[in-house]
Structure 1
């Protein structure tokens, strides 16, 4: 009889897990071989600056260390970061910090878990095939962008010399690319193959052409054979951590792969899942995309991270944190405020507790997690553990409306719903930018040419990570959300919509 270890192989200083194979194996076994772990979503306040994180990874690591100290079988699932932005120091690493960090942080922060480079190479090879198809008369335009882990302003829009005619192309960050989204969402290698075949290469005489019509897909899937496998490592305290895919919920999904979370839930009682940027970004995408449209597990609870400075530095933006916490609670998810203290802020604890009491939030969890690690949280988790135990015994689940698919709903209506539920902007103040309707019409025509209904694709908001609306400092009655551009990712089954301030190739901050 097989065991989990049979699906694990060394990959440098970490291990790689054949999650597809392991979950297939579990499906053939009698009930009871797999656990049914609860998902805990770690999200955050919208950061005051795009280049500043609130400490989600540090919190995630401290939380599982604290839970295991309390005797709970807990693990974490993190996202593999983007080397060009995160590891370069623009917003801190993605491996925690201080006592709340991974055993081998360099392997996460510098992309050495492998999938980033493999996905980048595979999508760029697809574009190379598309360029060759132009030479052979199969295509006359290329729609799939090249990707890079290292951002460059010069590459956002490029013109390739073809001799008789130049062909416009572009480059985006690896995390925002369609192939990354396919790996995040797929639950088997066969699904990866189907989705790659359905990717739009470009057009010929105005009609869309799919990669499956002219590329031998084994060339791509072979390149992804290790990229689809989550990495397995530990915290410095020895707690289990899985790392796979999906950074940057401002430019893409911003969540780890669904199969990595499903695998972790089969092995542990509690699985802490980190979602990108704030609750308006990564949490919105876990709930509205992963859980509602792709069948991922609904969170049993959420931890919403903030910094003490978030409530002090800009009074006009203080509305955002309680908005996020209350939104989670309104969806039936017990949401626990967590304040990630920095050095010199220990004296603010009493004031922070009074603030949360005045706002009617749950009793906050507060600690300097960089300095003290999980030990800062262990004694504060009584209410948290009690809620999880109650949820397990009562079979708590998402409200029916929260999981009712929006596929088939008019795309603009879906975007108005997201703006209202996730950003607090009513439908009447969602406005279309000058190029939006033309972009929408082009995407709709592209989908129609493939026999698809654009409204059946799942919307992905591409937005500034530092703002929920066009101007978060404006009075509540004046806040708006502007829709700017639409791009269909037919293989992934997603429709990317740029709104507010957004770039798919952002530049790192020099530190």
Structure 2
């Protein structure tokens, strides 16, 4: 009998799964054994500093270990981190820690499951084709950036002399690239090919030119043959974990691949999905992009992770954590606060529980997960399991496809950041950037308003100034960038870089 093992092959110390092939086989064999796992979204508080994580991955790993210890078939789908930032020490890696970690964290943290390098090679090859197209007179501007896993401040904005005048180019981190987004959102290699063909390489006399007009797409899809396959690894306690897709929900979509999540739901009863940074970043993008626009599972429950210090120790920013929890509850998603304790904070548990009660949270989950792992969570999950079992598996919310772009961003600002539409400000130059994006889409035969909105923002702030009084908080729209192949449009809100520099620790 055909099983998932028939679609699995060894890849170094991990395994790779042909998720496209497996899901196609399930569609062709509707009576084959499969599960319909419920998705749990793990997100976080907005961190006090952009370079500091709250502990989502550690929590995710501890959570699946705890659920499996209770006899519940649970797995997690994690994102492949960016070697140049995360594994350099800025946020402590992306494979958990202590008793809540993976068996081979170095493989995940340093990109050795392969997809990051392959996606970088493929996108850089596309840019090389664009450069040749400039030489051949097919285009006179290049709109697709090169990518690198090792940041360089000098490469944020460059100009290349083609003998016909300088052509502007730039370099961004691999996870922020359009090709990474395409891999995250696609359900087949044919879909990847169609999306790469629709990527706008540049313009000729102001008119967009797509890669499909001058690139043999097999040259790109061939590079991605293994990159589109989720990696299978496990926690130190033996719980299965799938790793696939890119981070950075502040400047990209920051979610694991939809095909990895769909595959995991066919294999397990509970699938924990980790989305990047805080609920204003990754959770917003899972709900608004993955679920509303691309049909991914709406979460049956959510966990919002925070540190005790982030939650309580800065009164001016204390509004953010309750806002995140309540926002998800407003979508009828049972949402549980989780406080990830550090050493020396055990004596704070009674006061943390009292604060949670005052805020009318569900019963909080609290523990030192680095030290105790899933053992700290298992006794606290009764309410979580009850809510998960009671939640419907198929809840969905309407798409906002076709909504005017600015109105769409105002909706996001109101719902994800608590800033009403009248306090969304258009910075000088935004109108011109918006008009250029509309003209580019019109020339490519697509509607700008049909693209899913990616809010590009600082990971450490929800508004222009989170310390301002509630009635004075604003969100400023700065510029627009089209990712036609991915079906996305980026709108820059607050200061953020697509080539951030790592913190040396």
- 1:397, CA displacement in angstroms? 4.5
CA distance in 1, matches of 2:443, 2:243: 38
Contact 1:175 1:251 in 2 (8 A): no
Name the counterpart of 2:458.
464
- Are 2:169 and 1:175 equivalent residues in the alignment? no
CA drift of 1:505 comes to 1.1
- Residue number in structure 1 paired with 2:314: 314
Moved more, 462-471 or 433-442: 433-442
> Aligned to 1:245, what secondary structure does the other structure show?
coil
Instruction: Give runs of aligned pairs for residues 7-46 of structure 1, distance below 5 A.
Output: 7-31=7-31, 33-46=33-46
Residue 236 in 1 paired to residue 236 in 2? yes
1:495 aligns with 2:489: yes
- The secondary structure found in structure 2 opposite 1:167 is strand
Say whether residues 1:439 and 2:443 are aligned partners. Answer: no
Q: In 2, distance between residues paired with 1:368 and 1:315? A: 24
Written as runs of structure 1 = structure 2, the 5 A alignment for 1:327-346 is: 327-346=327-346
Aligned twin of 2:414: 420
SS in 2 for 1:353: helix
Partner Cα distance (1:167, 1:382) in 2: 60
Measured in 2, the distance between the counterparts of 1:431 and 1:451 equals 29
- Equivalent-residue separation in structure 2 for 1:318 and 1:495 (angstroms): 31
Q: Secondary structure at the match of 1:88?
A: helix
1:58-111 Cα deviation digits (max 9, x unpaired): 000000000000000000000000000000001110000000000000000000
Distance in 2 separating the partners of 1:333 and 1:175: 28
Mean CA deviation greater in 263-272 or 155-164: 155-164
What is the SS of the residue equivalent to 2:385?
Answer: helix
**Structure 1 position 455 matched with structure 2 position 449:** yes
The equivalent residue for 1:203 is 203
**Residue in 2 that maps onto 1:96:** 96
In structure 2, relative to structure 1, the CA distance for the partners of 1:441 and 1:368 (3 Å cut) is: same
**Contact 2:455/2:490 (CA < 8 Å) preserved in 1?**
yes
Unmatched 5+ stretches in structure 2: none
Q: Deviations over 1:285-317 (max 9, x none)?
A: 000000000000000000000000113331100
Distance in 2 (alpha carbons) for counterparts of 1:30 and 1:412:
42
Name which of structure 1's ranges 307-316 and 11-20 shifts more when overlaid on structure 2.
Answer: 307-316
SS of the counterpart of 1:112?
coil
Alignment partner, residue 260 of structure 2:
260
Question: Which is worse superposed, 74-83 or 311-320?
Answer: 311-320
Tell me the SS of whatever aligns to 2:52: coil
1:74–1:135: structure 2 CA closer, same or farther, 3 Å change rule? same
1:164 is displaced (CA, Å) by: 3.3
Q: Distance in 1 between matches of 2:259 and 2:495?
A: 31
Deviation at 1:500, TM superposition (A): 1.1
The normalised TM-score by structure 2 is 0.99
Question: Could you list the per-position Cα deviations for residues 234-270 of structure 1 after superposition, in whole angstroms to 9, with x for gaps in the alignment?
Answer: 0000000000012010110000000000000000000
Q: Distance in 2 between matches of 1:73 and 1:411?
A: 41
The equivalent residue for 1:145 is 145
Compute the displacement of 1:30 (Å).
Answer: 3.2
The residue that corresponds to 2:131 in the other structure is 131
Q: Distance between the aligned counterparts of 2:418 and 2:429, measured in 1?
A: 24
* CA contact 1:253–1:285 (8 Å) conserved in 2: yes
Counterpart among 384, 404, 407 of residue 410 in structure 1: 404
C-alpha separation in 1, matches of 2:426 and 2:113: 40
Query: 1:82-121 maps to which residues of 2 (within 5 A)?
Result: 82-121=82-121
Per-residue deviation, 1:491: 0.3
Cα offset for 1:188? 0.3
CA RMSD of aligned residues (A): 0.8
Map of 1:55 onto structure 2: 55
| Cα shift at 1:32 | 5.6
Deviations along 1:151-173, whole A, 9 cap, x unmatched? Answer: 11100000112123211101111
1:503: how far off?
1.2
Per-residue deviation, 1:396: 5.4
CA positional deviation for 1:506: 1.0
Q: Match of 1:388?
A: 388
Per-residue CA deviation, residues 382-413 of structure 1 (Å, 9 max, x unaligned), is 0111111222xxx3553x6xx21111110000
Q: Secondary structure at the match of 1:441?
A: helix
Secondary structure, in 3 states, of the residue corresponding to 2:41?
Answer: strand
In the aligned structure 1, how far is the partner of 2:406 from the partner of 2:480? Answer: 11
Counterpart for residue 504 of structure 2? 510
Normalising by structure 1, report the TM-score: 0.98
Tell me the number of residue pairs that the alignment of Structure 1 and Structure 2 aligns.
505
Unaligned ranges ≥5, structure 1: none
- Structure 1 residues 439 and 311: CA distance shift in structure 2, 3 A: same
The whole-number CA distance in structure 2 between the counterparts of 1:423 and 1:412 is 15
Local SS of the residue matching 1:386: helix
